[in-house]
Each structure stands twice: as C-alpha cells, then as structure tokens.
Structure 1
Amino acid sequence: MIYIGNFSYNDAKDDKDNYCLMPCIVEAANTDEALELFSEHLFEVSKMSDLLDGAQEIYLDSIIELPEVPSSPLIAQWQKIMPAGDGLCSITSALPTVEFDDDIANAYSWNETEHSHDSDDDEYDHEDYGTLDDLNEELLEELAQDEEPFMRF
C-alpha cells in the first residue's frame, strides 16, 4: 500500500502565528508500518537538517491509504488556515472528492488509524457543521480538539 501522511506543526522559532504543512509519502505493508517509517524519517530529518528546528510537536492531520498509484488525479487533502481567537485554526478534509464507497483510497485521522472504512459493520457518525461560510468563533471553539501530537522533539 501507498500511504500519504499529512503532518503539520507550528514553527516555535517564528514569533508570528504560523502553520507548517508537511505531506510525506511511503510504501508500507500496513498503517502501523507506515506510521513507524514516518516517525523514523521525521526524527532523521530533525537530526540531519534544520528543516524542523522550530517544530516542538508534529501532528498527523490525516493518513491516506492507496492500494496503488491512481490513474487519474486525486486531491489527497484540502486544508484552510484561518484566524481564530488567539492564533490560527485549520479546517481539513482528507480525500474531499472521494466517496466512502469508492475503492480508490481510504483516509484516517490520527485517532482512528486502527479502523477501516471498508467494513460494512462499522458505522460512522459525521456531524453536519454546515458550510465554511457558516463558521464563526463559537463553532470554531466547539470544533477545536486537544489533539495528541504524533511526535515531540
């Protein structure tokens, strides 16, 4: 399988609000192996270059699983960064143009990587928050989560 990990972090060396996005791709036997390879790679990058010097915590926004390289273009992740309260807010959609019943790809968040959308037995509750135009400070606060970082430096 081919895995695309969509990582993000705030650059602590920059005194302005910021949000760094970092997609990473690997071929692996399963999600656990892909996560291990991503972790090893990011650790090596942090040791061998200054690219991640400002990264104290790196978050995995989504992981995309592809059985093969798609023959037509595929939007792996759509993301909007916008001001919210004291800082920035990220609104993210992995595989925004792929239907759940398509066999093209699967997308997982960091907290659901052990689950598969292939199983008919699984039920998923997707809350309807309206359109991006409906977002306001109160709704952004409600959507905010205390995420666990993928890795810390």
Structure 2
Amino acid sequence: MNAKTLTLIKKVAAILLLVCFVLPLSRCTTKAEIGAENAVKETHLYAYELAGAAWNDVKANEAGGLSALFAVLNVFFVPAICLALKDRLQAAICFFASFVSAYFLYCWVFVFSTRAEIGGIIATGCWMLLFGISCVTLWRLYRRGSLFKWVHKG
C-alpha cells in the first residue's frame, strides 16, 4: 500500500475511535436480586462513563483515577492527536500506545463483560489497523535508514 492510502486509513480509524467514545463497548448481564431466578440486569459499558468516573476519582484524589483517565484518553484520543504529528513520531507513538490500548480494550470489551457491543468491536478493529500501519511505517523507515534520523546527524 502506498503512503496516501495508509494515511487515509489512519484518519478513518482515528475518527471511528472518537465515535466509539460514545458507543457501548460491552454488555454485562447479572442477576438483579439474589432470590429472583429470571430477573436479570443488563448494563452497558460506555467510554464516556469510564472517563466521567475517572475524572470524579481524580477530583476526589482517589487512587487509580488518574491511571483510568489516562487509559480512556489513550484508547480513544491518542490516534486523533497523533494525526497532527510527522509520520515517524506518529508511528512510534501509535505503536507503543497500541500495547496499552490493547490491554484496556481487551479487559473492557471481552474480560469484564458477557457480550461485546458495536463500539468495542469497532475500537478493537481500529487499534488493530493502527498497530499494523505503525509496524509497516516503522519498518519502511528502518529500511530507508531514516528511522533514527533525529539521533544520528551524520
């Protein structure tokens, strides 16, 4: 694929991740009461609710609030912010951010839920694309000898 196609795919993935911020990531089904056999309670996990809860934790100086807020911002906003950067830096940031995002998305969408929802599936797919494009970009830069251009000024 050429560079323009990869850039277009990155832009679309970044926009889709921003949209996924308000889409349901997963669904959890639990029993509503201990004595009720057929009564179930379904809850949906939304990223904006995670961000709101993390922000409230940060304001209350509770442990874990800042890391949860960082996780939500990393998963949904880092690719859009990276679009303003040069290819080399963008690829490096998305490459390393993919590991953090993969962990949290996997937990939110597949581990702590009973069913993945559309937002979680789209977000997972977008991060898979961004990781793959970052790997391709970094590999191309390495092969051209310009990956570490800012380090070696020779």
Question: Which TM class, normalised by the smaller chain length?
Answer: under 0.3
Q: Which has the higher helix share?
A: 2
Q: TM-score, normalised by structure 2?
A: 0.24
Larger radius of gyration: 2
Q: TM-score, normalised by structure 1?
A: 0.24
Relative contact order: is structure 1 or structure 2 higher (C-alpha 8 Å, sep ≥ 6)? 2
Q: Which has the higher strand share?
A: 1
